[in-house]
Amino acid sequence: MRLSRYFLPILRDTPKEAEIVSHRLMLRAGLIRQQSAGLYSWLPMGLRVLNKINAIIREEQNRAGAIELLMPTIQSADLWRESGRYDAYGKEMLRITDRHEREMLYGPTNEEMITDIFRSYVKSYKDLPLNLYHIQWKFRDEVRPRFGTMRSREFLMKDAYSFDLDQASATHSYNKMFVAYLRTFARIGLKSIPMRADTGPIGGNLSHEFIILANTGESEVFCHKNYLDFDIPAADTDFDDVDGLQKTVDKWTSLYAATSEMHDEKAYAEVPAGDAVSARGIEVGHIFYFGTKYSEAMGAKVMGPDGQERPVHMGSYGIGPSRLTAAIIEASHDENGIIWPDAVAPFDVALLNLKVGDGASDEACAKIYKALTAAGRDVLYDDRDERPGAKFATADLVGIPWQVVVGPKGLAEGKIELKRRSTGEKHELSVDALIDRLTVDA
RNA sequence: CGGGGUGUAGCGCAGUCUGGUAGCGCAUCUGCUUUGGGAGCAGAGGGUCGCGGGUUCAAAUCCUGCCGCCCCGACCA
C-alpha cells in the first residue's frame, strides 16, 4: 500500500480526553475514532489489526474443535425472559422497541440465543460434545465507558459455548478452551496468566480469567513469577487427549495466581518472596463452566445412552478482540509509539523513501515494494513528499515491525538500512540482500 | 448513579473575572527555497464561540434551562 493513497489520519497532538497510553496511541496512530461515549469507528489501520487478531483467535478455536457461526446483534426479549435474565440484567442491557412494539435488545452476550439454537436441533448425546462460537459486536451500556476500546460500550467479542452430556465431559470441553486461550494469547505476542475467577452474575462454579501483565492494567493481580516462563502447549496438541489436556491445565493452575477479588493473603504469603509477583493486569479472556443453568431454564435437553433425557452441561468462553488491541499496546509500546508484535501488525514492513523524486531512491523503493508484495508481505510504502523526520516519526508511531530506509546517501554506497522497530537493531544491506532477507525470514 | 471538570477552526489552547462583534501554535492550500530524525520564508482558506431562552444599544464573555465529553468512585469482556 502506498501511503500517499492510503487513509491514515495520524495526529500530532494527543486529544485531551485520552488518558491511558493505548488510547492515546490508538487515536494518534489513526486506528480508531471516537464517535460517542464508548463507541468507536475502526479506521483502516485499526481494522487491519483487529482482523489479524480475529484470524488468530479463529485458527485456535477451530484447532480446539470449536465451530464458527454468526448470530445477530439484536435479540428478542422473550428469549431472555425464559432464562430469567431479562429482568436480572439491569440497565447495562440496551433495550429497544421495534415498529411493532416488540421488545428487543442489543445483545450483551449470547447464552440464551445459542441455547435456543442448540435445543432446536440437538436431541441426542451422540451429537455431543459441541462447541459453537462467533465473533460479533456486543453492547453493554456501561455506566462509565473509558480507556478507549479497553472499556467501550460496543465491543467485539469472540464468545464460544460448549455443550456436554455431563460434568466430566464439560470439564474436558473447558480444558480445550483453556489450552486454546493459552495458545491464542501467546501467538498474539502476549504472556497470559490464567487466574481463578469469581463466576459473577453468569453463574456456575469453574472459571478463569486470562490476565496479561501491564503497568497500566485495570486490576491488581498477584502470582508466581514462574508462570511467565511456562511453555505454551504446542500446535500439535491432541485436544482429544483428556488426560493430557488435564495435565496441562493442572500445571497452569498449580501455582498461585489471583486477581484482587479472589486474592488470598495467606496463600500468597506462602509463595517464596523472590517468586511472588504483585502487578497490574488486564483481563483479556474469561472462561466459565456453569453447568445446567441455562439448559434447565430453557429446556435444552438431550437423550442419554440410558434413554433418559437430561439438560446439557454448558460453558462459555470469551475473548474481546477490541479490548485486546488496546491491551497489546499497553504491553508493547515506547515513547515514540506502538510496537506491534509481528503476528498482529497491520503491515509487515514500512518502506521509507527518504527522497521522493530522486531517481535512484524511487527506483530502489519500487523494486523492493514489488518484490516484497509479490512474496506476500504487507508493505506500507511511505512515498509522501515529506521530510525524513516526519517519515521516521510516522513509522515509529504506527509501529510496523520492520522499517526499510531508502535514501540517496545509502544508495550511493549500495546500502539500504533495515531497522527492527522492537529492538532498534539496524542492518545495512544491498537491495537484493534486503529483499532476500525479508522474503525468506519473515 | 454520586462527586469534580470541561465545551472557542481538523488537533492543542488563549480570550470569559472587568460585555464592544474572535486570536495563537500545529495541521490544510499556493509559490519559492529545502530534504538521512516532525524544515524556512511569503501568502491564503477555514469558526452560527455546544444548543435554546433571557438581560443589554451591544454577549464567546452576564443570567437561565438543556446537551455532549472527560476525570475520581461503585460495576464489567
Residues 171-230 of A with CB under 7 A from strand B: 200-202, 209, 218-219
CA distances from A149 to A6, A18, A184 (A): 23, 11, 20
Nucleotide with minimal C1' distance from the CA of A324 is B77
Distance of A15 CA from B17 C1′ (whole Å) = 28
| Nucleotide nearest A34 (Cα, C1') | B69
Helix, strand, coil percentages for chain A (3-state, nearest 5): 40, 30, 30
Whole-angstrom Cα distance, residue A48 to residue A218?
26
Q: Which of residues 223-282 of A touch strand B (CB under 7 A)?
A: none
CA–C1' A37–B62 (A): 32
Separation of CA A217 and C1' B21 in angstroms? 49
> Which of A's residues 327-366 have CB atoms within 7 A of nucleic strand B?
336, 354-355, 357
Q: What is the pLDDT of residue A144?
A: 87
Residue A132 has a pLDDT of 98
pLDDT along chain A (442 residues), means of 10: 94 84 93 92 96 98 98 95 90 90 94 97 97 96 90 95 97 97 97 84 73 85 94 97 97 91 87 90 93 94 96 96 95 94 97 95 97 97 95 96 96 96 96 95 54
Report the predicted TM-score, pTM, of the whole model to 2 decimal places.
0.96
The pLDDT assigned to A30 comes to: 94
Q: How many CB atoms lie within 10 A of CB A1?
A: 18
Tell me the CA–C1' distance in angstroms for A335 and B20. Answer: 47
Rounded CA-CA distance A237/A252 in Å is 15
- For A64, the grid coordinates are 480446539
**DSSP per-residue string spanning A365-411:** HHHHHHHHHHTT--EEEE-SS--HHHHHHHHHHHT-SEEEEE-HHHH
- A250's CB contacts (< 8 A; 6+ apart) are none
Considering only CA atoms, which of A439, A440, A350, A435 is closest in space to residue A400?
A350
The Cα–Cα gap between A167 and A180 comes to 20
- The neighbouring-strand residues paired with A317 are A160, A287
Q: Which residues contact A183 (CB under 8 A, 6 or more apart)?
A: A60, A63, A232, A233, A235, A237
Q: Which residue is nearest to nucleotide B34 (CA to C1')?
A: A387
CA of A16 to C1' of B60 (A): 21
Q: How far is the CA of A19 from the C1' of B24 (A)?
A: 25
Query: What is the C-alpha to C-alpha distance for residues A156 and A24, in angstroms, rounded to an integer?
Result: 20
For the CA of A30 and the C1' of B38, the distance in angstroms is 17
Strand-strand pairing, A74-76 and A67-68: unpaired
A405 CB contact with strand B at below 7 Å: yes
Give the CA-to-C1' distance from A197 to B2 in angstroms: 29
Nucleotide nearest to A201 (CA to C1'): B76
Residues 6+ apart with CB under 8 A from A258: A195, A196, A221, A222, A223, A264, A268
The pLDDT of residue A261: 82
DSSP secondary structure of A45-83: HHHHHHHHHHHHHHHHHHHTT-EE----SEEEHHHHHHH
CA dist., res. A182 & res. A40, Å (int): 28
- Residue A213 (CA) to nucleotide B48 (C1'), in angstroms, measures 49
Q: Which nucleotides of B are covered by protein (CB under 7 A)?
A: 1-2, 10-13, 25-27, 34-39, 68-77
Extract the C-alpha cell encoding A56.
488468530
Nucleotide nearest to A284 (CA to C1'): B77
The C-alpha atoms of residue A94 and residue A73 are separated, in whole angstroms, by: 11
Rounded Cα distance between A338 and A21, Å, is: 10
